[in-house]
Amino acid sequence: MMRTNDEILGQFEAALSQMQTPEEPELLYAPIIYSMAGGGKRLRPVLLLIANEAFGGNIDKAMPAALAVEVFHNFTLLHDDIMDNADVRRGKPSVFAKWGENVAILSGDAMLITAYKMLTALDAERLPRVLHIFNDMALEVCEGQQYDMDFESMTVVTVEDYIQMIERKTSALLSGSAMIGATLAGASDDDIKKLYRFATELGLAFQLQDDVLDSFGDEALGKKIGGDILEGKQTYLMVQAMNRASEVEREVLRTTHKNEALSDAEKIATIKALYEKLDVKRAAEQQIELRFERALAVLNTLSIAGERTVRLQEFARNLMGRKK
């Protein structure tokens, strides 16, 4: 019997709780413990372990890599919070807000090194390939963050550039995790390449859905609407809208978030009205469907028996908040 995804998550959390961190210097290591204990959905390690199991891998042997990708992910959040000047992370003070910038920089560095330290517990035979995938993934995440920061000062971003940015910033860590899990199970190059495509498309669908929900989500579900609009952030909706807008509309899209004459609610309403008019919500939803369907379709082309891909399908649906 294959483990359910919840069982896999449970085993990951158990392994994480065993993770040893030195006690001193306290200001170096306490923020690492704080970050890792901060929760989160553990999407990347779970995907890694599901991919590993789909190809008949041993969960215990893959666990160090699962820990490594989760530590890496939390490292990126820690440093991103400095760059974004973000005080809150998962409902608690960010490391940056709690300990200050220098501690956040240095403990983040120690966290990145700790991720690599986890990898040394893998079988020596698989280590070079995993390290290779891990490094490429890690650099892509940095590239994605840099493009995202670059976009802040750009007026018009092309849809292609935006997609390439989120392929790095969001998809790379998912696709790297899936590839590492499969690599550790001895999957073929062809299957590994397919998992890369599965997770890349899924990551895009997930990020685009996140963009849409930020403007059109259900406030009744406790989701705060309009954060991206108020920050003047480049999102799929904004990028598409700017590309479709008239010169006058562009000016509105560009300046509304800093218009001091408007309340927050008015700013959000103004931009959403333009999004509706320019039909960009529907464009985004079409992209989401396309990417999600592509991701699921890739699973059917894997060399393993169909029933072995069930957990990957469940993971994908669950990530997108869908029952089926």
- Of 89 and 194, nearer to a copy of itself (C-beta) is 89
Q: What is the DSSP letter of 168?
A: I
> What three-state secondary structure class fits 172?
helix
Query: C-beta of 62: minimal distance to a copy of itself in Å?
Result: 17
* 3-state percent helix, strand, coil for the chain, nearest multiple of 5: 75, 0, 25
String of DSSP letters for 240-300: HHHHH--HHHHHHHHHGGG-TTS-HHHHHHHHHHHHHHTTHHHHHHHHHHHHHHHHHHHHT
Give residues 28-47 in contact with a copy of itself (rule: CB under 8 A): 28
The residue range among 97-105, 206-214, 247-255, 275-283 that interacts with a copy of itself, by the rule CB under 8 A, is 97-105
Both tokens of residue 151? 């976009």
Give residues 75-94 in contact with a copy of itself (rule: CB under 8 A): 79, 82-83
The only residue of 86, 88, 113, 297 in contact with a copy of itself, by rule CB under 8 A:
113
The only residue of 16, 19, 106, 225 in contact with a copy of itself, by rule CB under 8 A:
106
Query: C-beta of 102: minimal distance to a copy of itself in Å?
Result: 5
Instruction: Name the maximum alpha-carbon separation found in the chain.
Output: 63
What are the CA-CA distances from residue 213 to residues 102, 190, 224, 229, 316 (Å)? 34, 35, 9, 12, 17
- How many residues contact a copy of itself, by CB under 8 A? 37
Q: Should residue 132 be labelled a site residue for a copy of itself when binding is judged by CB under 8 A?
A: yes
Q: Should residue 158 be labelled a site residue for a copy of itself when binding is judged by CB under 8 A?
A: no
| Whether the Cβ atoms of residue 118 and residue 60 lie closer than 8 Å to each other | no
The only residue of 56, 86, 87, 120 in contact with a copy of itself, by rule CB under 8 A:
120
The only residue of 110, 230, 252, 269 in contact with a copy of itself, by rule CB under 8 A:
110
Query: C-beta of 128: minimal distance to a copy of itself in Å?
Result: 5
- Of 70 and 201, nearer to a copy of itself (C-beta) is 70
Q: Should residue 250 be labelled a site residue for a copy of itself when binding is judged by CB under 8 A?
A: no
- Of 145 and 309, nearer to a copy of itself (C-beta) is 145
Both tokens of residue 303? 């060399």
Q: What is the DSSP letter of 153?
A: T
What are the CA-CA distances from residue 195 to residues 64, 155, 285 (Å)? 20, 35, 23
The residue range among 12-20, 45-53, 138-146, 302-310 that interacts with a copy of itself, by the rule CB under 8 A, is 138-146
Stated as kind and residue range, the H or E segment containing 24 is none
Query: C-beta of 256: minimal distance to a copy of itself in Å?
Result: 25
Separation of first and last alpha carbons in the chain: 22
> Footprint of a copy of itself on this chain (CB under 8 A)?
22, 24-25, 27-28, 79, 82-83, 101-102, 105-106, 108-110, 112-114, 116-117, 119-120, 124, 127-128, 131-132, 135, 138-139, 142-143, 145-147, 149-150
